[in-house]
Amino acid sequence: MGERVKNFISRYDSYLTPIALLAGFVWDNLTLRRIDLLFENMSILIYLAIAFFGIFITNASQAGKFKNRFFLKINTWVPFLLQFAFGGLFSAFIIFYSRSGSIYTSWPFILTLAFLFIGNELFKKKYQRLTFQLSVFFMALFSYSVFAVPILLNKIGQEIFLLSGAVSIVMFVFLIFILYKLIPQKINESKKSIIISVAVIYIMFNVLYFLRIIPPIPLSIKESGVYHSVVRKDSVYEIKYEKPEWYLFFKNYDEKYHWQKGSPVYNFTAVFSPGGINTKIFHRWYFFDEKNKNWILKDTLGFPIVGGRDGGYRGYSVKYQLQPGKWRVDTMLENGQVLGRNSFILIESEKTPRLYTEIK
């Protein structure tokens, strides 16, 4: 039975792997909810443990440490085990990081995660090499620490990010020490390339963070939109908006904003923050200068948010001094990391457009 399964997998591997990756990504997207919940974090830790176990078995077997039939049999399945673990890890990271940032500013980092996820099949043979295994593992470890440490400490900021990097390195060195005790020769042979690779990854993370490209995880935008009216009534918000065309079903508002001169525009956001992390967010209003072809900052309006609400902490800003043309509102942290962006075209109109009312 086992041989038949093995032959089936070997024969249809080129079809099964992409299907499994896609199914796993869809499953993760449906099941991974809040970044601060125990189930989500335990899932990632289990994937990390499986990945390290796979690295351990592969290299110990190659060094001749395991010679009995049981470990030799397991070793034939280890490449699939590593694919499964790294596929699960980077699938989860794509989901959480893409929820946390604006694709306009964070696309280089999210694209890197997507490449590691989609390229999982291409890396099958490279998973036999220790340096490559440990490099991918360190990137996964650092990606997790970036949001796990803030959740544990109930803090975000530059010093917390630097601490996340330090935690990743300490944990990585500890795991290398475990491998060194078992396979000292292999570690010594690859020591230089491992150090260089890990150093490059560490520097890359820091450069991307200080360039504000890494999303402001563990915060994320649950909802946002540009509306004609936002009124708070007890514990809910009543909003009025123009309904977008049917084919823009994924939009909460119509990007063509029909505006009567003198009336204000409202930018509404619901920002999720883990319980215990209270901070301040800002709405930056930009107008596009058609003559000089650049965005001009017109206003910065901020308000505090409180963590823990499942649907995100709701708030809004109001802009009065407006003019027809292209506008955008960036929702960001004080350090400049962008959570989301709403773009719209302000069209002056004498008639009041048809507005729809919704409670949030």
**pLDDT value of residue 125:** 59
Mean pLDDT lowest for which of 51-60, 148-157, 227-236? 51-60
CB distance 237 to 230 below 8 Å: yes
- In this prediction, residue 322 has a pLDDT band, given cuts at 50, 70 and 90, of very high
Measured between alpha carbons, how far is 326 from 348 in angstroms, rounded to an integer? 12
Distances 82 to 27, 57, 78, 126, 133 between C-alpha atoms, Å? 19, 11, 6, 11, 9
Mean pLDDT (the chain, rounded): 86
**pLDDT value of residue 126:** 58
- Identify the residue whose tokens are 């800003």: 317
Indicate the SS3 state at residue 230: strand
Q: What are phi and psi of 233, to 5 degrees?
A: -130, 105
Comparing 101 with 224, the larger pLDDT belongs to: 224
Comparing 32 with 289, the larger pLDDT belongs to: 289
- In this prediction, residue 1 has a pLDDT band, given cuts at 50, 70 and 90, of very low
Measured between alpha carbons, how far is 303 from 301 in angstroms, rounded to an integer? 7
Structure tokens at 76: 């034939």
Length of the chain: 360
Chain Cα centroid distance, residue 71: 36
CB distance 353 to 231 below 8 Å: no
| pLDDT tops 90 at residue 109 | no
- The sign one gets for the Cα dihedral 209, 339, 118, 18 is positive
Closest-CA residue to 133 (of 235, 79, 55, 70): 55
| pLDDT tops 60 at residue 318 | yes
326-345 pLDDT, tens digit each: 999 999 999 999 999 999 99
Domain locations in the chain? 2-210, 220-359
Mean pLDDT within 160-188:
93
CB distance 329 to 316 below 8 Å: no
| pLDDT tops 90 at residue 228 | yes
249-258 pLDDT, tens digit each: 777 788 899 9
Work out whether strand 313-319 and strand 265-272 pair parallel, antiparallel, or are unpaired. Answer: antiparallel
Comparing 151 with 68, the larger pLDDT belongs to: 151
| pLDDT tops 60 at residue 16 | no
Residues facing residue 230 across a β-bridge: 239
- In this prediction, residue 229 has a pLDDT band, given cuts at 50, 70 and 90, of very high
Q: Per mean pLDDT, which of 2-16, 213-227, 234-248 is the most reliable?
A: 213-227
The percentage of residues in the chain with a pLDDT greater than 70, rounded to a whole number, is 86
80-102 pLDDT, tens digit each: 778 788 888 988 999 899 888 87
Measured between alpha carbons, how far is 302 from 287 in angstroms, rounded to an integer? 18
Hey, what CATH topology would domain 220-359 get? Immunoglobulin-like (2.60.40)
Mean pLDDT within 116-125:
62
